[in-house]
Amino acid sequence: MEVLAKTEYQDLYRVIDGVLLVVNKFIPIEYENEKYFTVYRGKVKQGKYNKGCQDWLKVLKEDYYDEYRNITIPKGTVTYIDRPIIPANNQSDWKYEVKTTGSALSGDFDTIEMLLSSILYTIRTGEVKK
């Protein structure tokens, strides 16, 4: 397994070619009366959060103001799929994804057992199994 990114908001690992383990270490910010608030992509400049992380993670390059909801999101806020987020220190709040291309997570019993064992080890420890 290879570490592609290890950040405050997301860890990304290549298990094998075609298989990624994504650890999303954040929670969405909930605003008063707006549980699912999103930033309108076309109205604010955003940049990639970290070159090793998924493209869904962005950082605001300027303040964002939503006049309909009277909510201001400050420059530097990180978003995931346009929702403002904050880091989650509690591991039980983290979300895990195994992403594959084609049939990359396939093989005989021993191969699958080894892949899943490596994934579970990383989830439990935050480290790559040697």
Q: What is the pLDDT of residues 58-112, one digit of tens each?
A: 999 999 998 888 899 999 999 999 999 999 999 999 999 999 988 888 889 999 9
Break the chain down into helix, strand, coil percent, rounded to 5. 20, 40, 45
Q: Is the pLDDT of residue 130 over 80?
A: no
Please report the pLDDT score of residue 33 as a whole number.
78
Please report the pLDDT score of residue 103 as a whole number.
80
Please report the pLDDT score of residue 35 as a whole number.
81
Q: What percent of the chain has pLDDT over 90?
A: 76
CA–CA dist 14, 128 (Å, integer): 10
Q: Read off the pLDDT of each residue in 28-38 and give the average, rounded to a whole number.
A: 87
Q: Is the pLDDT of residue 42 over 90?
A: no
Total-model pTM? 0.87
Beta bridge partners of 27: 86
Q: Read off the pLDDT of each residue in 48-66 and give the average, rounded to a whole number.
A: 94
Average pLDDT over the chain reads: 92
Query: How far is CA 58 from each of CA 54, 80, 94, 120, rounded to the nearest angstrom?
Result: 9, 6, 18, 28
Cβ atoms within 10 Å, residue 31: 15
